[in-house]
């Protein structure tokens, strides 16, 4: 005993990882990309990053975080206990100026039917201290020994750079465990404007009644006319906006059925057709178009940049009159009224999209508005272009744009619809044949996005970053998740993997608003990094930045992200088959490995290095 | 006890009265639809209807490619002149009812007995039969009756729905399709807005 060196013992105690609590519960911090399971392990797709499990800790075993101003820094906490235990968790950060804000979320573990495993994704907001027990009663996981939490630190643009200290605290019984946190706020400010627009698409509003059953069933009267309903729509927009995204809501069906919230009420017919009532439309769109819906956002109030119009082949003009003078009169008169109304309201910061979503396979109309396959259908776009030109004054400050979602025939449409369609949403697979297209379209002033869907939770945590990165690498303006509000029949206990959801209903947790997901958070953090990376294009060639990001992401070169132009591209698109396209994108399928769990962390590191260079 | 009894009677009579009102309304709607459906048989041109779905679409309708689950839909095409001509007629027919209704066109598929497809739908997106997104489906017994006998049939299988199936004839006098004149007692303003 005399030979024992007390300083060494003290040092060992200090260095002993806080999570290694000998018995009872423990508290561990994890990087954002390592999603835990409810038994203390890491979910299988993220296990490639297990070596990074302790990567958050500095030499003093403090959680060491670093972030730019005007954005978020994230990590996770994991409470573990081999036996049932009541506990509380909180996260505190000391900021004398009270600028930096802390958001704590409990992670919901979804049982995923496809592989019979649990994955965390939905994030339930925690106000203040979280008090509960393990196993978590409502998640109903037998033998659960670990509960995860997501932590966001929001650093506003005017926060002071420097070091901030905080703690994550776990209390159970008379025991207290603490993980010290050091947040370094960097000098740089993340550009407020995103370099790629990430859109979250949705259809109609019936999903709200389905997912918010408590509010819907408890409301006496027509819930679809209630303030609650409109607030909920706005809450979805707020959620995506806060996560550096935008949202689209399509308001009509494939045969032209119009949701009453999406269009003004019309009256009359032929010459007398006119807008009779704007009330519901204005309740829905007014706060979105003047930005007041975002008054409480950390990003500041801002009108939504894009919105679908209700225009379709059956609205405002009746298809009964298609090709006749009455169709033109009805269309032009009402669209002109819309332009006047929007102008009078000052809604001049939004691109109002004339967008045809219908497909002829749904039997409403005889041409494809969405994804033209048969070249003859392009004539309909030309006709609507003519009608729009007639309806909208050339010097209008209101931005009406024609949008086309294109796949098979995109190359022809880029040519034939030049000056008519100015917003393109392209199939990623087919756009990958046409390497020059994004630059060509953007040079003439068009906006070009490509589309796909969110990755399942069964893919690695970095998978959600691949599409935004691809949009940036390709030089497009953005990317569209085709559906992000549809969680399936039972997301909580029999999850379908989440390929159509990034935002969940809070109804289960007595919340009247949507709640975010881990994938949405990781996507937001990726968009922050992309905005930072792109800001260095004044110092480095953009292709050099893209090359290095691709290399860090999945060890690829830029050529790997494009496919060679296939022979079928020179055949009329109505002679292609879907399997031909699969063959034509084989190169990228082979050349682009699935992103590993830490793929985006490597890109983030690159952005940090560049920021270091810039100092 | 007596008060409860009287209150119960009043409640019951109120419920019965409402049910009677609904029955009367349904009956009136049914009559209007049946009447309009008879006009549909006269006005819808079966020869034009037979030109709507293109040979290419028919060729691929039943093809299966394990590599391409959307093959049939991707190749679905119509003759837009024939489609528009018929659709306009169907829209006008819907004006014959005093309530919102749709007149949908259904056509059997040559060489595939017992199969039928909706060929034209309309703006209220109502149908008692269409399975959303399906290119074709099994003809119901009521549909088969109309196609084989030329007799108009009213179907009220789904609560609150009324569909009148009316035959469509071509110039040879053959029944080549049917019109589904359809409405709902309680409209759902948000259904099928997707």
Q: How confident is the model at residue A14 (pLDDT cuts 50, 70, 90)?
A: very low
pLDDT in tens, A384-394: 999 999 999 99
Question: Are residues A358 and A370 in contact, defined by beta-carbon separation less than 8 angstroms?
Answer: yes
Question: Are residues A238 and A294 in contact, defined by beta-carbon separation less than 8 angstroms?
Answer: yes
Residue A22 pLDDT greater than 70, yes or no: no
Reduced DSSP (H G I as helix, E B as strand, rest coil) percent helix, strand, coil of chain A, to 5: 35, 25, 40
Residues 6+ apart with CB under 8 A from B24: none
Q: Please state which of the ranges A153-162, A300-309, A604-613, B86-95 shows the lowest mean pLDDT.
A: A604-613
B123 → closest Cβ in A205, A256, A373: A256
Spatial separation of the C-alpha atoms in residues A50 and A41, rounded to whole Å: 9
pLDDT in tens, A60-80: 999 999 999 999 999 999 999
Show residues of chain A in contact with B70, CB under 8 Å.
Answer: 578
Closest Cα in chain B, distance from residue A363 (Å): 5
Spatial separation of the C-alpha atoms in residues A541 and A543, rounded to whole Å: 5
Give yes or no for A369 touching B (CB within 8 A): no
* Residue among A257, A259, A302 nearest A284 (CA): A259
Q: What would you report as the CA-atom Rg of chain B, rounded to the nearest whole angstrom?
A: 20
Query: Using H for helix, E for strand and C for coil, what is the string for B66-119?
Result: CCECCHHHHCCCECHHHHHHHHHHHHHHHCCCCCCCEEEEEEECCCCCCEEEEE
Give the residue on A whose Cα is nearest the Cα of B124. Answer: A257
Phi-psi region of A24 (alpha: psi -120 to 50; beta: other; left: phi over 0): left
Q: Please state which of the ranges A150-164, A514-528, B10-24 shows the lowest mean pLDDT.
A: B10-24
Question: Are residues A264 and A281 in contact, defined by beta-carbon separation less than 8 angstroms?
Answer: yes
* Mean pLDDT (whole number) for A98-112: 98
Cβ contact, residue pair B193, A359, below 8 Å: no
Q: What would you report as the CA-atom Rg of chain A, rounded to the nearest whole angstrom?
A: 26
3-state secondary structure of A146: strand
Spatial separation of the C-alpha atoms in residues A364 and A377, rounded to whole Å: 14
Give yes or no for A323 touching B (CB within 8 A): yes
List phi, psi (to 5°) of A170: -120, 130
Judging by DSSP bridges, how do beta strands A146-155 and A101-112 pair with one another?
A: antiparallel
Q: In the prediction, which pLDDT does B185 show?
A: 94
* Mean pLDDT (whole number) for A104-130: 98
Residue B172 lies in a domain: yes
A:B CB pairs within 8 Å: 102
Question: Are residues A319 and A302 in contact, defined by beta-carbon separation less than 8 angstroms?
Answer: no
Q: How far is CA A420 from CA A93, A381, A424, B33, B62, in A?
A: 53, 8, 11, 42, 37
Give the residue on B whose Cα is nearest the Cα of A250. Answer: B194
Residue A21 pLDDT greater than 90, yes or no: no
Cβ contact, residue pair B121, A373, below 8 Å: no
A257 → closest Cβ in B65, B74, B193: B193
Q: In the prediction, which pLDDT does A15 show?
A: 41
Q: Above pLDDT 90, what percent of chain A?
A: 94
Cβ contact, residue pair A322, B88, below 8 Å: yes
Give the residue on B whose Cα is nearest the Cα of A363. Answer: B120
What does the angle CA A446 – CA A447 – CA A451 come to, to the nearest 5 degrees?
A: 140
pLDDT in tens, A564-586: 999 999 999 999 999 999 999 99
Give the residue on A whose Cα is nearest the Cα of B119. Answer: A363
Length of chain A: 615
Residue B164 lies in a domain: yes
A253 → closest Cβ in B68, B71, B125: B125
Question: Are residues A170 and A79 in contact, defined by beta-carbon separation less than 8 angstroms?
Answer: yes
Show residues of chain A in contact with B87, CB under 8 Å.
Answer: 319, 366
A224 → closest Cβ in B71, B74, B190: B190
Residues 6+ apart with CB under 8 A from B82: B48, B49, B51, B52
List phi, psi (to 5°) of A161: -70, 155
Cβ contact, residue pair B123, A320, below 8 Å: no
Spatial separation of the C-alpha atoms in residues B145 and B151, rounded to whole Å: 7
Closest Cα in chain B, distance from residue A581 (Å): 10
Please give the full DSSP string across A374-419, using - where no structure is assigned. Answer: SGGGHHHHHHHHHHHHHHS-TT-SSEEEEEEEESTTHHHHHHHTBT
Mutate to test the interface with A, among B74, B93, B102, B187 (most CBs of A within 10 A): B74
B189 → closest Cβ in A260, A319, A578: A260
CA neighbours within 13 Å on the CB side: how many for A54?
A: 11
Reduced DSSP (H G I as helix, E B as strand, rest coil) percent helix, strand, coil of chain B, to 5: 40, 20, 40
Residue A613 pLDDT greater than 80, yes or no: no
Spatial separation of the C-alpha atoms in residues A511 and A504, rounded to whole Å: 11
* Token pair in block for residue A336: 């002109």
Closest Cα in chain B, distance from residue A457 (Å): 24
Cβ contact, residue pair B194, A203, below 8 Å: yes
Closest Cα in chain B, distance from residue A380 (Å): 11
* Token pair in block for residue A89: 């968790």
Phi-psi region of B109 (alpha: psi -120 to 50; beta: other; left: phi over 0): beta
Q: In the prediction, which pLDDT does B6 show?
A: 61
Give the residue on A whose Cα is nearest the Cα of B189. Answer: A259
Q: Which residue has the higher pLDDT, B41 or B193?
A: B41
Residue linked to tokens 């090709």? A323
Give the residue on A whose Cα is nearest the Cα of B78. Answer: A366
Q: How far is CA A30 from CA A121, A179, A237, B131, in A?
A: 15, 12, 30, 47
Q: In the prediction, which pLDDT does A19 show?
A: 43
Residue B110 lies in a domain: yes
Q: In the prediction, which pLDDT does A494 show?
A: 98
pLDDT in tens, A132-184: 999 999 999 999 999 999 999 999 999 999 999 999 999 999 999 999 999 99
Residue B182 pLDDT greater than 70, yes or no: yes
Give the residue on A whose Cα is nearest the Cα of B133. Answer: A362
Residue A16 pLDDT greater than 90, yes or no: no
Cβ contact, residue pair B190, A253, below 8 Å: no
Q: How far is CA A597 from CA A15, A472, A495, A503, A541, in A?
A: 27, 20, 21, 22, 28
Please give the full DSSP string across A73-132, using - where no structure is assigned. Answer: EEEEEEEE-SS-EEEEEEEEE--TT---EEEEEEEEEEEETTTTEEEEEEEEEE-SSEEE
E-strand spans in A513-575? 514-515
Kindly report the average pLDDT of chain B as a whole number.
92
Residue A8 pLDDT greater than 60, yes or no: no
* Token pair in block for residue A610: 């560049």
Spatial separation of the C-alpha atoms in residues A96 and A279, rounded to whole Å: 46
Q: In the prediction, which pLDDT does A51 show?
A: 78
Residue B3 lies in a domain: no
Cβ contact, residue pair A578, B68, below 8 Å: yes
CB atoms < 10 A from the CB of A558, how many?
Answer: 15
Please give the full DSSP string across A422-481, using - where no structure is assigned. Answer: EEEEEEHHHHTT-TTHHHHHHHTT-EEEEEE-PPPTTS-GGGGGHHHHHHHHHT-SEEEE
Q: What domain range includes position B117?
A: 25-184
Kindly report the average pLDDT of chain A as a whole number.
95
Cβ contact, residue pair B193, A253, below 8 Å: yes
B122 → closest Cβ in A250, A255, A360: A255
For residue B48, the domain's CATH number is 3.30.450
* Mean pLDDT (whole number) for B117-140: 97
Closest Cα in chain B, distance from residue A534 (Å): 36
* Mean pLDDT (whole number) for A488-506: 98
Residue A3 pLDDT greater than 50, yes or no: no
Mutate to test the interface with A, among B89, B136, B190, B191 (most CBs of A within 10 A): B190
Spatial separation of the C-alpha atoms in residues A259 and B9, rounded to whole Å: 41
Give yes or no for A270 touching B (CB within 8 A): no
B76 → closest Cβ in A253, A259, A361: A361
Closest Cα in chain A, distance from residue B132 (Å): 8
Q: In the prediction, which pLDDT does A12 show?
A: 42
Cβ contact, residue pair A578, B121, below 8 Å: no
Residues 6+ apart with CB under 8 A from A256: A312, A313, A314, A315, A319, A358, A364, A365, B122, B123, B125
* End-to-end alpha carbon distance in chain A: 52
ipTM above 0.90, yes or no: yes
Sign of the CA dihedral running B80, B82, B84, B90: negative
Q: In the prediction, which pLDDT does A11 show?
A: 44
Give the residue on B whose Cα is nearest the Cα of A379. Answer: B80
Give yes or no for A7 touching B (CB within 8 A): no
Q: In the prediction, which pLDDT does A307 show?
A: 98
CA neighbours within 13 Å on the CB side: how many for A154?
A: 14
Q: In the prediction, which pLDDT does B14 show?
A: 61
Closest Cα in chain A, distance from residue B189 (Å): 6
3-state secondary structure of A203: strand
Please give the full DSSP string across A151-176, using - where no structure is assigned. Answer: EEEEE-TTSPPEEEEEEEEEEETTEE
What's the total number of domains in chain B?
1
pLDDT in tens, B84-113: 999 999 999 999 999 999 999 999 999 999
Give the residue on A whose Cα is nearest the Cα of B57. Answer: A361
Residue B5 lies in a domain: no
Residue B113 lies in a domain: yes
Spatial separation of the C-alpha atoms in residues A431 and A264, rounded to whole Å: 36
Q: In the prediction, which pLDDT does A10 show?
A: 44
Residue B187 pLDDT greater than 50, yes or no: yes
Residue B191 lies in a domain: no
pLDDT in tens, A448-472: 999 999 999 999 999 999 999 999 9
Show residues of chain B in contact with A376, CB under 8 Å.
Answer: 80
Closest Cα in chain B, distance from residue A437 (Å): 24
Give yes or no for A301 touching B (CB within 8 A): no
Strand order in the sheet with A117-126: A26-30, A71-80, A146-155, A101-112, A117-126
Residue A228 pLDDT greater than 60, yes or no: yes
Residue B7 lies in a domain: no
Give yes or no for A486 touching B (CB within 8 A): no
Spatial separation of the C-alpha atoms in residues A449 and B16, rounded to whole Å: 58
A366 → closest Cβ in B83, B189, B192: B83
Q: In the prediction, which pLDDT does B10 show?
A: 57
Give yes or no for A322 touching B (CB within 8 A): yes
């Amino acid at each position: 005993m005399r030979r024992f060196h007390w300083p060494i013992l003290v040092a060992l105690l200090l260095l002993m990882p806080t999570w290694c609590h000998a018995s009872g519960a423990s508290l561990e911090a994890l990087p954002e990309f390592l999603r835990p399971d409810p038994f203390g392990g890491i979910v299988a797709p993220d296990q490639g990053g297990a070596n990074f499990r302790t990567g958050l800790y500095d030499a003093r075993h403090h959680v060491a975080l670093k972030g730019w101003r005007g954005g978020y820094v994230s990590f996770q906490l994991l409470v573990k206990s081999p036996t049932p235990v009541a506990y509380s968790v909180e996260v505190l950060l000391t900021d004398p100026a009270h600028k930096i804000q802390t958001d704590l979320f409990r992670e919901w573990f979804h049982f995923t039917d496809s592989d019979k495993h649990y994955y965390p994704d939905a994030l339930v907001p925690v106000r203040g201290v979280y008090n509960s027990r393990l196993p978590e009663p409502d998640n109903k996981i037998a033998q659960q020994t670990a509960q995860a939490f997501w932590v966001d630190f929001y650093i506003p643009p005017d926060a002071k750079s420097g070091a901030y200290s905080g703690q994550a605290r776990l209390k159970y019984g008379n025991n207290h465990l603490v993980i010290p946190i050091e947040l370094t706020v960097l000098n740089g400010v993340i550009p407020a404007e995103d370099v790629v627009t990430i859109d979250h698409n949705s259809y109609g509003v019936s999903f709200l009644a389905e997912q918010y059953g408590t509010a819907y069933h408890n409301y006496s009267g027509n819930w679809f006319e209630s303030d609650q309903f409109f607030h909920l729509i706005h809450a979805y927009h707020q959620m995506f906006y806060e996560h550096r995204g935008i949202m689209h809501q399509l308001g009509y069906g494939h045969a032209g059925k119009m949701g009453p919230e999406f269009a003004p009420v019309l009256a009359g017919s032929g010459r007398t057709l006119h807008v009779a009532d704007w009330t519901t439309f204005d309740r829905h769109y007014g706060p979105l178009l003047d930005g007041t819906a975002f008054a409480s956002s950390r990003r500041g109030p801002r009108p939504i940049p894009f919105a679908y119009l209700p225009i379709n082949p059956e609205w405002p003009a009746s298809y009964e009159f298609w090709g006749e003078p009455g169709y033109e009169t009805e269309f032009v008169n009402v669209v002109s009224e819309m332009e006047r109304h929007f102008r009078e309201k000052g809604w001049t910061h939004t691109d109002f999209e004339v967008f045809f979503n219908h497909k002829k396979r749904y039997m409403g109309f005889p041409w494809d508005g969405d994804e033209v396959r048969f070249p003859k259908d392009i004539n309909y776009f030309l006709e609507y272009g003519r009608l729009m030109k007639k309806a909208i004054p050339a010097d209008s400050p209101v931005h009406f744009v024609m949008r086309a979602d294109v796949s098979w025939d995109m190359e022809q449409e880029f040519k034939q619809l030049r000056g008519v369609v100015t917003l393109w949403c392209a199939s990623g697979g087919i756009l990958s044949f046409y390497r020059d297209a994004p630059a060509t379209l953007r040079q003439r002033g068009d906006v070009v996005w490509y589309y796909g869907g969110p990755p399942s939770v069964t893919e690695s945590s970095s998978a959600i970053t691949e599409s935004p990165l691809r949009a940036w690498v390709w030089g497009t303006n953005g990317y569209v998740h085709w559906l992000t509000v549809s969680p399936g029949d039972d997301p909580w206990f029999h999850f379908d993997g989440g390929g159509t959801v990034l935002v969940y209903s809070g109804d289960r947790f007595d919340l009247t608003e949507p709640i975010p997901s881990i994938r949405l958070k990781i996507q937001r953090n990726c968009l922050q990094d992309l905005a930072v990376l792109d800001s260095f294009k004044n110092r480095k060639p953009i292709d050099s930045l893209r090359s290095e990001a691709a290399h860090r992401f999945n060890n690829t070169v830029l050529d790997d992200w494009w496919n060679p132009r296939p022979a079928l591209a020179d055949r009329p698109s109505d002679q292609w088959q879907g399997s031909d396209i699969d063959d034509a994108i084989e190169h990228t399928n082979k050349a682009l490995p699935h992103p590993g769990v830490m793929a985006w962390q490597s890109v983030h590191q690159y952005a940090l290095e560049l920021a270091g260079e810039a100092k | 006890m007596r008060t409860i009894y009287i209150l119960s009677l009043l409640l019951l009579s109120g419920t019965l009265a409402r049910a009677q009102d609904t029955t009367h309304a349904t009956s009136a709607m049914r009559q209007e639809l049946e009447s309009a459906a008879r006009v549909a048989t006269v006005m819808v041109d079966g020869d034009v209807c037979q030109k709507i779905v293109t040979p290419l679409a028919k060729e691929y309708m039943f093809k299966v490619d394990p590599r391409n689950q959307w093959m049939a839909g991707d190749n679905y095409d119509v003759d837009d002149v024939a489609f528009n001509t018929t659709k306009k007629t169907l829209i006008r027919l819907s004006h014959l009812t005093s309530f919102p209704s749709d007149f949908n066109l259904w056509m059997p598929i040559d060489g595939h007995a017992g199969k039928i497809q909706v060929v034209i739908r309309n703006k209220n997106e109502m149908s008692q039969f269409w399975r959303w997104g399906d290119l074709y489906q099994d003809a119901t017994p009521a549909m088969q009756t109309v196609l084989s006998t030329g007799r108009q049939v009213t179907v009220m299988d789904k609560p609150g729905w009324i569909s009148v199936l009316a035959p469509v004839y071509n110039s040879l006098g053959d029944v080549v399709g049917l019109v589904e004149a359809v409405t709902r007692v309680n409209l759902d303003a948000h259904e099928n807005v997707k």
